[in-house]
Amino acid sequence: MRQLLSHSSFFKFYLLLGLALCAVLLIALGGRSFIEQVRREDYREQLVALPMSLMTHQLGEVSEDERGLLIGRFTERLGMQLTLRRISEVKLGYFASKRIERGSVLVTDDPWRLRQRVPGDEWLLEASLPAWSERQWQGSMLLLGEWLTTLPTEEHEAALATLRSGSWPLSLLHTLPDHLTSKQQGQLAMGNVITLLSSEKLSISLLYQLPNSSTWLLAGPITRGDTLPMNLQLPLLLGAMAVLCLIIYLIMRRIETRMARLELAATRIASGRLETRVKVESDDSLGRLGMAFNGMASQVQTLLRGQQEMIRAVSHELRTPVARIRFAVQMVEDMTDQPAIRRQLQGIDADIAELDELVDEILTYARLGGETVNGAELEMALVDCRAMAERVIDTLAPLHEGLTIELTDGPDIELLAEPRYLQRALQNLVSNACRYGKKHITIRLWSEAQLVRIDVEDDGPGIPADARVEVFKPFTRLDDSRARSLGGYGLGLSIVQKIMAGHGGSVTVDTSPTLGGARFTLLVPRREPLA
C-alpha cells in the first residue's frame, strides 16, 4: 500500500478526494446536527411563547400584591411550578441576557424550565414542568379565554395582537367550522377545549368557546415542526459545497503546479534554454515523468552540442584547404597568359569565394546556436538604429547598382542591443531583399513603448503564405521565384531568427503594403540600461 501511494499520483489524488468527501460528510452531519439543535430550541420557544406571553402580560398589568393570586391560578390551569425572581438575582450569560431584554423566552428541557421577563419590570417569570403535555395546551386556551372575557368584545382582536403567539396562530370565529361532530359541539358548549387534527399535514388546532359568548377562539394549526426548513438547509448545502470545492481546488492546485513546471521547462527548452531541468520532488508518476523529461533534455543538449562542435570543426578544417587552393590558383594565374586558362582560373576563384562565404555562414550559424537566448551572453550596448541602417545601405548599395535602397524619414532611435549581431540581422534581410527585389528596397524604423520595429520591404515576387514559416529553417530555399540561381545558401534568415531569439525578440514575414513584395519585420524589445 505504501509503495502504491508513493508511485501513483492519481491514486493519491483519488485517495485525497475520498478523504475530502469524508471530511465534508462529517462537516455536513455536524452542521445538520447543530442546525437541528437550533431548530428544536426555536420550536420549543415558539411552542411556549403564547402561554408565557399571556402570563407575563397579565402579571405586568397588576400590582405586586395581586401577582401571587395570578400565579396560583396559572399554576392550577397549566400544571407548572411558577416563581417570580428579580433579574439581578438570576445568573444569565451574555446572549441569554440579550434575549431576555428582547422579550424572548429561554427554554431548557429535561426537565423543562421556561424564563421570560415581565414587560416593563425587573422581574423574571420562571416556569418548571416535567414535560410539555395536553394539559398545557388546554390550560393555555382556558387562560386566554378567561382573559378575553374580562375585556370588551370590540377589544378582543387588539388584545390578541399584543401577545406573542409563536407557533399558535390565533383567530376569533363567529361561526363554527362545518366539519365538527355533534359530540365536539357539545364539548364546546360545556366549556371544554377540543383538539382538531388535520391528517394531511399532521397539524393540530385547538378550539374553545368564550364563556357567555357566541365567539370561538381558534389556535392553530400548530405544526409538528420536525422538518428542516429550507432557510436552514440551503446554508448547510452551500457550506458543504464550498468546503468540498476548496478541498478539491487545493488537491488539484498541487498537481497543476507540478504540471505547470513541466510546461514551463518544455517552453524554455523549445526557446533554446537546453540547460533547463525540472525539479523532481517524489517518485510517483509525475516525478518519473520529470526524471524522463530531464533525461530527454540532457540527451538533446548533448546531441546538439556534438552537432555544433562537429560543424565548427568541419568549417575550420575547410578553411585550410580552401586557402591552399586559392594560393595555388593565384600561382597558376601568374604563370600563364593564355586567356582561356585565365577564364577557367577566374571561375575557380569565384567558386572558392563562394565556398569561403558558405563556411563563414555555417560558422556564424553554429556560433549563434551556442549562445544563450534572451541575451544572457550577448554584450549589450546602445545602438543608433538609423545610423546602423545607413551603414548597411552604404555597404550593399554599391553591390546592387540597379536597385534603389532607401531609409524612410523618422525619429532617431536608440536601442540596447548587441551592435554587431543586430547589424548582421538587418544586413541579411536587406541582402535578401536585394537578391529578389526588382527596383526598390525600403527600410522603415518604428519606435514603440516596449519595442523597436524595423521593416525591410521589397518589390519582388514575395513569399507565399504557406512557406512563411519554412523560410526560416536552415538550408531552406523556395523552388519557384527564389531559386538557387539567385544565390544564397538558405542560412541567412535562420541566422536572423537566432539573432532575434538572442535578443528576446522575433522576426516575421508578410506582404509589403506599399511595394507589393515581401516585408520582413524585426521586433526587438527595449531593455533598461545597466547602472
Domain ranges of the chain: 7-222, 289-369, 374-525
**For 374-525, which CATH class?**
alpha beta
Distance CA 60, CA 62 (A): 6
**Residue 97 above 50 pLDDT?**
yes
Maximum average pLDDT range among 163-177, 192-206, 305-319: 163-177
**Residue 395 above 80 pLDDT?**
yes
CA 63 to chain centroid: 68
Distance CA 192, CA 399 (A): 125
Question: What residues have CB less than 8 Å from 109, skipping those under 6 apart?
Answer: 44
List, for residues 102-128, the tens digit of each pLDDT value.
888 888 877 888 999 988 888 899 999
Predicted pLDDT of residue 202: 67
Predicted pLDDT of residue 520: 92
Question: What residues have CB less than 8 Å from 138, skipping those under 6 apart?
Answer: 193, 206
Please give the average per-residue pLDDT across 131-139, as a whole number: 86
Tell me the pairing of strands 194-198 and 170-173: unpaired
Residue with cell 398545557: 136
Give the helix/strand (H/E) hosting 513: none
Please give the average per-residue pLDDT across 343-367, as a whole number: 74
Distance CA 276, CA 272 (A): 9
Q: Between residues 384 and 370, which one has the greater pLDDT?
A: 384
Maximum average pLDDT range among 34-38, 254-258, 499-503: 499-503
Please give the average per-residue pLDDT across 430-437, as a whole number: 89
Predicted pLDDT of residue 444: 92
> What DSSP character marks residue 176?
-
Distance CA 420, CA 381 (A): 10
Predicted pLDDT of residue 521: 93
Q: What would the grid cell of residue 384 be?
A: 543608433
Distance CA 228, CA 152 (A): 41
At 4, give phi and psi (nearest 5°): -65, -40
Please give the average per-residue pLDDT across 400-409, as a whole number: 88
List, for residues 484-502, the tens digit of each pLDDT value.
445 556 778 888 888 888 8
Predicted pLDDT of residue 411: 83
Predicted pLDDT of residue 2: 53
Distance CA 452, CA 506 (A): 11
**Residue 480 above 50 pLDDT?**
no
Predicted pLDDT of residue 499: 85
Q: What would the grid cell of residue 38 be?
A: 437550533
With pLDDT > 70 as the criterion, what percentage of the chain qualifies?
87
Predicted pLDDT of residue 377: 58
Q: What would the grid cell of residue 486 be?
A: 539567385
Per DSSP, the three-state class of 406 is strand
Helix axes 419-436, 492-502, angle to 10 degrees: 150
Predicted pLDDT of residue 10: 62
Please give the average per-residue pLDDT across 431-441, as a whole number: 89
Predicted pLDDT of residue 458: 92
**Residue 137 above 80 pLDDT?**
yes
Predicted pLDDT of residue 454: 92
pLDDT confidence band for 457 (50 / 70 / 90): very high
pLDDT confidence band for 4 (50 / 70 / 90): very low
pLDDT confidence band for 483 (50 / 70 / 90): very low
> What DSSP character marks residue 522?
E
Task: Count CB neighbours of 143 within 10 A.
Answer: 20
pLDDT confidence band for 351 (50 / 70 / 90): confident
Distance CA 409, CA 386 (A): 9
Strands of 212-272, DSSP E = 216-222
Distance CA 13, CA 11 (A): 5
Helix axes 285-335, 339-369, angle to 10 degrees: 160
Any bridge partners for residue 170, and if so which? 219
Question: What residues have CB less than 8 Å from 61, skipping those under 6 apart?
Answer: none
Residue with cell 396559572: 74
Helix axes 9-61, 134-149, angle to 10 degrees: 40
Q: Report yes or no: 503 and 373 within 8 Å, Cβ to Cβ.
A: no
Predicted pLDDT of residue 484: 45
Q: Between residues 307 and 328, which one has the greater pLDDT?
A: 328
* Domain 289-369 CATH (choose: 1.10.287.130, 1.20.1440.230, 3.90.480.20, 3.40.50.360): 1.10.287.130
Mean pLDDT for the chain overall: 81
**Residue 470 above 70 pLDDT?**
yes
Question: What residues have CB less than 8 Å from 44, skipping those under 6 apart?
Answer: 107, 109, 112, 132
CA atoms within 13 A on the CB side of 214: 2
Predicted pLDDT of residue 453: 92
Q: Report yes or no: 45 and 107 within 8 Å, Cβ to Cβ.
A: yes
**Residue 381 above 50 pLDDT?**
yes
Question: What residues have CB less than 8 Å from 326, skipping those under 6 apart?
Answer: 349, 352, 356
pLDDT confidence band for 443 (50 / 70 / 90): very high
**Residue 317 above 80 pLDDT?**
no
Residues present in the chain in total: 531
Q: Report yes or no: 301 and 275 within 8 Å, Cβ to Cβ.
A: yes
For every residue of 89-152, DSSP letters joined together read GS---HHHHHHHHTTPPEEETTTEEEEEEPTTSSEEEEEEESS--HHHHHHHHHHHHHHHHTS-
**Distances 257 to 36, 284, 371 between C-alpha atoms, Å:** 41, 15, 30
Please give the average per-residue pLDDT across 281-297, as a whole number: 81
